[in-house]
Amino acid sequence: MYRRDRPLLLRSCPAALYNNLCVLPLPASGLAQFALVHGSNCELLSAVPSGLPLSQRLLHAKEGAGLNLPLITQAYWCVLPFRVLLVLTSQRGIQIYESDGSVMVYWHALDSSDAPPAQALFARGIAASGHYICVGTWSGRVLVFDVPAKGPNIMLSEELNEHRVPVTDIAAEPAQGQDCVADVVTADDSGLLCVWKSGPEFKLLTRISGFGIPCPSVQLWQGSVAAGFGDGQIRIFEASSGALHVQINAHARSISALDLAPEAGKLLSGAEDSFVHIWKLSRNPDSGCIEVEHCHAECVTDTLVCGARFCDPKGSSFAVTGYDLSEILRYSCV
Amino acid sequence: MSVRTLPLLFLNLGGEMLYILDQRLRAQNIPADKARKVMNDITSTMFNKKFLGELFKPQELYSKKALRTVYDRLAHASIMRLNQGSMDKLYDLMTMAFKYQVLLCPRPKDVLLVTFNHLDAIKDFIRDSPLIVKQVDETFQKLIEVYGCLSAGEFQLIRQTLLIFFQDMHIRVSIFLKDKVQNSNGRFVLPTSGPVPWGTDVPGLIRMFNNKGEEVKRVEFKYGGNYVSAKSEGSFDLYGDRGLTLGTNMYSMSQPVETHVSEAPKNLPLNTSKASPAPNPLAKEELNFLARLMGGMEIKKTSGPEPGFRLNLFTTDEEEEHAALTRPEELSYQVINIQAAQDQQRNEELSRIMGEFEVHDQPPQNTSKGDDLLAMMDEL
């Protein structure tokens, strides 16, 4: 059972975009940092679990070419082996900051040269795997950046060209042991999921076809891919083979965010139907197949949920953002 | 973000505008021939081929202010005049109505059905003018051509772009409050019951499979809502049952004449200035857009014996003037006068909300209403 905690008041309401909340727990100081996007800005807040926001910062989209103010599509903290970086994706490109947003360390402008005329240009989908940061784009291309232990010498290492429509989300999991099956999964607007092994050269391991329904959010846990779809379904696949293990009729509208609490195998789903659900994932010891149990349903009344994140790796607390909602809602286990 | 959003935004807002004008023309007892002329003139200007050609070009959305200027022009395409206060209220009603329709669309693609509902109703308004009906039909065909084969992902991007456009708009509309589709904080009610969208299953079922793809376990769970399956998909043809009421005329017969517009109280603690860091380039780009768009608008000059008239969206001139005077440029707070005592007694909730507003002393708005494009640009 979860109960509502004190919400965090925001300067402005989050945009109705996918995965519009990122949480970075800072266990050393007992604080947590929150990031969400609204228009051309990214709002950063830090707070103690049940307290008022302690500090706030507003980051702006870098303008680049063109006169309109570009929209930011996503903000995400990439936890790398030696550093944490905050990545912002926008209609113009990719901005990478130190984790508190104080300094921009890298800027990558999107290449618009081969864009067809009626195409919206943007970057969207961010994940970190080892010392690589992967970012998706409107063309389906996934850019892989190699990040040094410190300093601004981030380099574009590779471009992955498996997707043909805009990338929606990317997720990563630390490689588990020698027979590790997957590191990174990329998802797109057609529901196609690609599972990759990361490294100096990324290797495509599995392709799981979509049915034309977007996959706004995806997670990887112990060799299984959990994907949320625009028709409200959550599907869980075996990452190495692409076999479908679980199909959940989870929501009545498009899923907008998924998150994982890896230490507990808990999955959090938020959707446009105003519901947030928590699921427990486990592996059946006999069949080796993934099983799912529903744990908790939360109705965020009259709110189009656009972001949902666990605030700790055990999943004992979570936070939710919504369109037209001027606060971050927080819940914790009783 | 999506560069295909403007036609849908424009046509749906235009449709709402026609619904409201139609209702006010009847409420104000404007003679039938004058009312018909106004509806015909505005509709034929809206569906002018050259104008629509500009509209359908792939482009980013512009600000609410820039778009408002286009509707200002459109509303004055005939012998009717609107004062500033009424024009503000008209635009507020139009935008909140379409925001509501976009939010409540079951599937992103259903925004096209909402558009078709508007066009179906418009065709009925101007059914006595075959030339204008033909213009609307051609627009139908253009919509089917452009949007008919877009993917679910592209429609979702259009939906997200529209919701970004309507962000930060929380104006309370009495029709919505009365029908309980809007809360007193200005947010819309999202129902958790009724039919699921076409193509979605009713929530509540977990199916588990083995490696051979055979179902091995089936578990139900309580999802917290009360949904049923969708009966059928709406029609995307020129004629057909659209399958949803969003986008149909909510001002017809059964609704009372008055609609009140008020800004919801804000509870944001900090500075809520939304000023862009570089306002000038944006305004210039918008001026170019407006010039292009209006260049395609063929406004008939009001020559000849037909005398003009003024439409008032309020019940008295004093109310209208008061609304205009007390409305700041930033659209923050707005004082509403509810006219009749019987309304207040009937609707205590609304009265309580009205009592929560502050009055801001603001200098009167510049109400110059020339047809001159430059004059309108000055108001931006």
- Measured between alpha carbons, how far is B375 from B380 in angstroms, rounded to an integer? 10
pLDDT at B363: 37
Whether residue B207 and residue A248 make contact (CB cut-off 8 A), yes or no, is: yes
Count residue pairs from A and B with Cβ separation < 8 A.
195
Please indicate, yes or no, if residue B294 is contained in any of the structural domains: no
DSSP character string of A252-319: SS-EEEEEEETTTTEEEEEETTSEEEEEEEEE-TTT--EEEEEEEEEE-TT-EEEEEEESSTT-SEEE
- Judge whether residue A334 has pLDDT over 60: yes
Chain A residue with Cα closest to B200: A231
pLDDT in tens, A262-284: 999 999 999 999 999 999 999 98
- Judge whether residue B84 has pLDDT over 50: yes
Residue B325: phi, psi to the nearest 5?
Answer: -70, -35
- Judge whether residue A46 has pLDDT over 70: yes
How far apart, in Å, are the Cα atoms of A149 and each of A79, A146, A153, B152? Answer: 12, 10, 10, 41
What 3-state class would DSSP assign to B45? helix
Q: Per-residue confidence at B156, pLDDT binned at 50, 70, 90?
A: very high
Whether residue B58 and residue A118 make contact (CB cut-off 8 A), yes or no, is: yes
Higher pLDDT, B365 or B6: B6
Chain A residue with Cα closest to B196: A252
- Judge whether residue B369 has pLDDT over 50: no
Hey, is the C-beta of B209 within 8 angstroms of any chain A C-beta?
A: yes
Higher pLDDT, B302 or B122: B122
- Measured between alpha carbons, how far is A109 from A87 in angstroms, rounded to an integer? 13
- Judge whether residue B298 has pLDDT over 70: no
Whether residue A303 and residue B274 make contact (CB cut-off 8 A), yes or no, is: no
pLDDT in tens, A78-126: 999 899 999 999 999 999 999 999 999 999 999 888 888 888 999 999 9
Sign of the C-alpha dihedral computed for residues B350, B351, B352 and B358 taken in this order: positive
The most confident of the ranges A49-53, B246-250, B290-294 is B246-250
- Measured between alpha carbons, how far is B82 from B367 in angstroms, rounded to an integer? 10
- Judge whether residue B328 has pLDDT over 60: no
pLDDT at B353: 37
Whether residue A323 and residue B170 make contact (CB cut-off 8 A), yes or no, is: no
Residues A180, A188 contacting (CB under 8 angstroms): no
Nearest to A250 among B197, B203, B210 (CB): B203
Token reading at B323: 């609304």
What is the reported pTM?
A: 0.87
Whether residue B192 and residue A299 make contact (CB cut-off 8 A), yes or no, is: yes
Average pLDDT of chain A, as a whole number? 92
The most confident of the ranges A16-25, A181-190, B66-75, B337-346 is A16-25
pLDDT at A176: 57
Please indicate, yes or no, if residue B210 is contained in any of the structural domains: no
Give the start-end residues of each E strand in chain B. Answer: 80-82, 171-173, 193-195, 205-209, 215-220, 226-228, 261-263, 309-311
Residue range(s) defining the domain that contains residue B345: 5-191+236-253+307-357
* CA neighbor of A41 nearest in space, from A76, A7, A12: A12
Whether residue A247 and residue B209 make contact (CB cut-off 8 A), yes or no, is: yes
DSSP character string of B235-303: P-SSSS--S--TTS-TTSTTS-S---EEEPPP---S------S-HHHHHHHHHHHHHHHHHT--PPP--
* CA neighbor of B97 nearest in space, from B25, B171, B4: B171
- Judge whether residue B317 has pLDDT over 90: no
- Judge whether residue B361 has pLDDT over 70: no
Whether residue A303 and residue B164 make contact (CB cut-off 8 A), yes or no, is: no
pLDDT in tens, B243-280: 888 988 988 754 544 456 666 555 443 333 443 333 34
Whether residue B209 and residue A289 make contact (CB cut-off 8 A), yes or no, is: yes
Please indicate, yes or no, if residue B141 is contained in any of the structural domains: yes
Residues A249, A241 contacting (CB under 8 angstroms): no
Nearest to B224 among A13, A190, A275 (CB): A275
- Judge whether residue B358 has pLDDT over 60: no
- Measured between alpha carbons, how far is A103 from A90 in angstroms, rounded to an integer? 17
pLDDT in tens, B196-249: 999 999 999 999 999 888 999 999 999 988 999 998 888 888 888 888 889 889
Chain B residue with Cα closest to A60: B277
Nearest to B151 among A119, A189, A297 (CB): A189
Number of structural domains (chain A) is 1
pLDDT in tens, B175-203: 888 889 999 888 999 999 999 999 999 99
Paired sense of beta strands A327-333 and B193-195, if any: unpaired
Sign of the C-alpha dihedral computed for residues A94, A96, A100 and A102 taken in this order: negative
Whether residue B1 and residue A71 make contact (CB cut-off 8 A), yes or no, is: yes
Q: Please, what is the end-to-end C-alpha distance for chain B in angstroms?
A: 23
Greatest Cα-to-Cα distance within chain A, rounded to the nearest angstrom = 60
- Judge whether residue A143 has pLDDT over 90: yes
Q: Is B303 exposed, middle or buried (0-12, 13-18, 19+ CB in 10 A)?
A: exposed
Number of structural domains (chain B) is 1
H or E element that contains A76? strand A72-79
Hey, is the C-beta of B328 within 8 angstroms of any chain A C-beta?
A: no
Note which residues in 173-192 of chain B have CB less than 8 A from chain A.
Answer: 183, 187-190, 192
Chain A residue with Cα closest to B2: A120
CATH assignment at residue A234: 2.130.10.10
- DSSP annotation of B60 reads -
Please indicate, yes or no, if residue B200 is contained in any of the structural domains: no
Strand order in the sheet with A266-271: A255-261, A266-271, A275-283, A290-299
Higher pLDDT, A55 or B17: B17
**Number of other CB atoms surrounding residue B342 within 10 Å:** 8
Query: Which of B160-174, B185-199, B285-299 is predicted with the least confidence, judged by mean pLDDT?
Result: B285-299
pLDDT at A119: 87
Q: Which residues of B203-227 are buried (b: 16+ CB within 10 A; e: fewer)?
A: bbbbbbbeeeeeeeeeeebebbbeb
Whether residue B211 and residue A287 make contact (CB cut-off 8 A), yes or no, is: yes
pLDDT at B253: 54
pLDDT at B360: 36
Whether residue B151 and residue A165 make contact (CB cut-off 8 A), yes or no, is: yes
pLDDT in tens, A114-139: 888 888 999 999 999 989 999 999 99
Average pLDDT over residues B95-109: 95
Q: Which of B221, B267, B273, B280 to mutate to test the interface with A (most CBs of A within 10 A)?
A: B221
Higher pLDDT, A64 or B331: A64
pLDDT at B174: 85
Q: Which residues sit opposite A293 in a β-bridge?
A: A280
Whether residue A246 and residue B207 make contact (CB cut-off 8 A), yes or no, is: yes
Residues A207, A231 contacting (CB under 8 angstroms): no
Higher pLDDT, B31 or A49: B31
Helices (H) and strands (E) in chain B, counts: 14, 8
Q: Note the Cα B210 to chain centre separation in Å.
A: 50
Chain A residue with Cα closest to B221: A294
Average pLDDT over residues B105-131: 94
Whether residue A304 and residue B190 make contact (CB cut-off 8 A), yes or no, is: yes
pLDDT at B73: 87
Complex confidence, ipTM:
0.95
- Judge whether residue B306 has pLDDT over 70: no
Please report residues of B whose CB lies closer than 8 A to that of A67. Answer: 281-282, 284-285
Q: Per-residue confidence at B17, pLDDT binned at 50, 70, 90?
A: very high
Average pLDDT over residues A135-156: 94
Residue range(s) defining the domain that contains residue A12: 2-114+121-333
Please report residues of B whose CB lies closer than 8 A to that of A216. Answer: 156
* CA neighbor of B251 nearest in space, from B194, B311, B308, B313: B313
pLDDT at B262: 67
pLDDT at B145: 94
Average pLDDT of chain B, as a whole number? 78
Q: Which of A37, A68, A165 to mutate to test the interface with B (most CBs of B within 10 A)?
A: A68
Nearest to A232 among B190, B203, B277 (CB): B203
